[in-house]
Amino acid sequence: MIEVGIVGGSGYTGGELLRLLSFHPEVEVVVVTSRRFSGKPVSSVHGHLEGIYDLSFENPTLAEVGDRCDVVFTAVPHGSAMGIVPELLGSAKVIDLSADYRLPPRVFEAVYGLEHSDVRDAVYGLPEIHDVTGHDLVANPGCYPTGAVLAAAPLVSERLLSLAVFDSKSGISGAGAGPSMVSHYPVMAENVQPYKLTTHRHSAEIVQELKRFDDDLLSISFTPHVVPSVRGILTTAHLFTIESMDGEETRKLYEKFYYDKPFVRLRKTISSLPAVRGSNFCDIYIETDDDNNRVVVITAIDNLVKGASGQAIQNMNIIFNLDETTGLWQPGLAP
């Protein structure tokens, strides 16, 4: 059995890691840390796990966590992981769900306004794009970049785009477990709230990943919104091609690119959030606008699963040479 630890297990991503790992036949969760809830049962915070785990939150040293685990998921705030990961590597593999290792240090510092104290290489853990095999440190992608990059990658990889515009709608859980105006019911009920229209931190990840395919891509634009849904991200990608492409040609390109990617589903109807809620799938729908040299791609993911904890487990499966679907092959919770 793979012995698993979670550092920072009291938030939404920590709880989702625990829920998903409970289905996994090859792992045992041996330690879940939380300074705030140390000594309290995991189910006292994550009530849906009552009777599933006989574990309490702990506050051990990082050295102890590393010694007890084969792999550790770090589900901590941005800027915190860089002080934790060096204490774990060498004893355990690490899959980091924060932003600390997704970007080069100088880019991270510019985007997040924090000095980076741990300069080391990590593989960007979007398994449909990057091979994480053999790596000890995986930087799990952000939720918005997951849907955006998967929407555009097949076209960008062929250097067919001149402009990519992403419009994303996220459920409120993307704001985290702590109460805020974004998660306040009177503010968000019956509302669609755009925010950080040109300055969202995930823009840097989207640019980084698409520029890996085509550094000449002229422009990439991303605008996020919060909607009154608990889970899910629906991204509409307006992908402007250098030349007109017909629908059949475009679909074949996507089928070829994702033919061996089990968690990407190419849909014949428009992607919807209920179809992926609670699952690790990314549903993709494609339509072409020949008059404007535009391909419209809709992606739907669960921000807490494919956008966070499920993708982290998918990465764990790969680095431990398991089938990447192990413990994750389950449908969404529609309706």
Q: What are phi and psi of 287, to 5 degrees?
A: -145, 140
pLDDT, tens only, 129-159: 999 999 999 999 999 999 999 999 999 999 9
* pLDDT over 90 (residue 119): no
DSSP 3: E
| Mean of per-residue pLDDT scores for the chain | 95
Q: Buried b / exposed e across 119-157, counting CB within 10 Å, b at 16+? A: eeebbbbbbbbbebeebbbbbbbbbbbbbbbbbbbbbbb
In whole angstroms, how far apart are CA 104 and each of 14, 52, 53, 99, 100?
25, 39, 38, 11, 9
Which pLDDT score is estimated for 177?
76
Tell me how far the alpha carbon of residue 36 is from its chain's centroid: 25
Which of 88, 143, 282, 304 is labelled catalytic?
143
The pTM of the full predicted model, rounded to 2 decimals, is 0.96
CA distance 138 to 122: 5
CB-CB contact of 312 with 93 (8 Å)? no
Class for the domain spanning 2-120 = alpha beta
Specify whether 69 is catalytic: no
* pLDDT over 90 (residue 81): yes
Arithmetic mean of pLDDT, 182-188:
82
DSSP 279: S
Which pLDDT score is estimated for 262?
98
Which pLDDT score is estimated for 65?
98
Asked if the peptide bond before residue 335 counts as cis, ω within 30 degrees of 0, the response is yes
Which pLDDT score is estimated for 306?
99
In whole angstroms, how far apart are CA 8 and each of 5, 11, 49, 178, 329?
10, 7, 16, 14, 25
> Residue ranges per domain, the chain?
2-120, 143-303
Which pLDDT score is estimated for 297?
99
Which pLDDT score is estimated for 334?
85
> Domain 143-303, what fold?
Dihydrodipicolinate Reductase; domain 2 (3.30.360)
Give the contacts of 323 (CB within 8 A, at least 6 positions apart): 317
* pLDDT over 80 (residue 181): no
Give the contacts of 305 (CB within 8 A, at least 6 positions apart): 16, 20, 276, 278, 279, 280, 311
CA distance 289 to 309: 35
The answer to whether domain 2-120 and domain 143-303 are alike in fold is no
pLDDT, tens only, 283-292: 999 999 999 9
